[in-house]
Amino acid sequence: MSQQKTPHADAGGWVEPRPTALLVLQDGTVIEGAGIGAVGEASGEVCFNTSMTGYQEILTDPSYAGQIVTFTFPHIGNVGTNEEDVETVEIDEAEGVRGVVLAATITEPASWRATRSLDSWLRARGLIGIAGVDTRALTALIREKGMPNAVIAHDPAGLFDLEALKAEAAGLPAMEGLDLVPMVTRDHQGGWTETAWQLGRGYGKPDGSRFHVVAIDYGVKRNILRLLTEAGCRVTVVPATTTAAEILALEPDGIFLSNGPGDPAATGAYAVPVIRELLEKKLPTFGICLGHQLMSLALGAKTVKMRQGHHGANHPVRDNTTGKVEIVSMNHGFAVDPASLPDYAEQTHVSLFDGTNCGIALKDRPAFSVQYHPEASPGPRDSHYLFDRFIGLMEHRNANAAK
């Protein structure tokens, strides 16, 4: 990382090239680099992600709305992009990730699945990026001081109003208290009819369903819906503001609470009363990421802002119910305070990195949730059993109802 420099000519007449992109942090730190992707400016909270693969899925994950993603792995973009690995569902591309920070410049794609380069894909989606950054130093800064707000700017001519960028960065609101779900949730009810990807086939279509699941969309990822469908569910996706009465009118066998961005306490202002009412009906319920946090809030627990968050595909988590350790994908800047959980909520999963809560199950109702993303398959399938657990809850409920 470095401070902004003024181009100058040496004795031989050589002019130092201007940086074509800047990342301006809220404390006034200016990081220079080479611009990639779209031209313009964007702002958000800077986080770092330790994943070595899956960058296209990360950059289209609605849970990253309002954030600028720094990749710690240096070679991002070398497999290109395609039309199949997008995770967003019917949202404006500009409402998701705000920008991307890379160490190395993007190389030409080297994958048979690639249809365009990452740089071209970023431009098409309006995403601004900066390459040539000392991402190790930036990551160390985040680990030490927390995730800062920042403005990312790209101008091919290297012309920036530095003071204006600093002022903008300094004035950005903190993530705490921000409800970002309205940016990424759908505005209408709809079905989902795509199953998981298979080599030689691509994404499939269901050949029947045993259960009807209503998925509340706080920023849901496509692959979650695919795995629910693959498991034998007919999935109806509803907006985040859908009432409990409207959901119950759909006669679901189970409820799914999706992932999403922002401060869960802010989203909880309207989501928690709905979830509480649904839990009272004792419908099988499964939550992921923000859905996990919202379920915990509905039980009376609290969430806290993390300094650096968990963002990566190499996090070890222990399942306390089996003793097994799974390698999971995570993306969250808030965590559930386990000390605030009620006695009837069991802590089922825990991070082996820092001991934070990663899952709960209710002792008196068929409901559970996890902080991580089982559908992201980093293990690659260490966590797919969670979808089977959800199916098992619905099987049990329906079997008892039939007696």
Q: Tell me whether residue 292 is one of the annotated catalytic residues.
A: no
Q: DSSP characters for 304-352?
A: EEEEEEEEEEEEEEEETTT--EEEEEEEEEEEE-GGGS-TTEEEEEEET
Specify the amino acid at residue 165. Answer: L
Does residue 396 carry a catalytic annotation? no
Q: Which of 154, 292, 310, 373 is catalytic?
A: 373
Contact at 8 Å (CB) between 343 and 300? no
Judging by DSSP bridges, how do beta strands 254-257 and 211-217 pair with one another? parallel
Q: Helical H runs in 135-255?
A: 135-145, 162-170, 181-184, 222-230, 244-248
359: Cβ contacts below 8 Å, ≥ 6 apart: 292, 317, 319, 347, 348, 349, 350, 368, 369, 370, 371, 372
Task: Determine whether 289 is an active site residue.
Answer: yes
Nearest to 288 by CA among 330, 320, 319: 330
Backbone phi and psi for residue 214, each to the nearest 5 degrees, phi listed first: -100, 120
Q: Is the dihedral of CA 165, 31, 172, 43 positive or negative?
A: positive
User: Which of 41, 57, 168, 375 is labelled catalytic?
Assistant: 375
Q: Exactly one of 47, 289, 310, 311 is catalytic; name it.
A: 289
Please list the active-site residues: 289, 373, 375
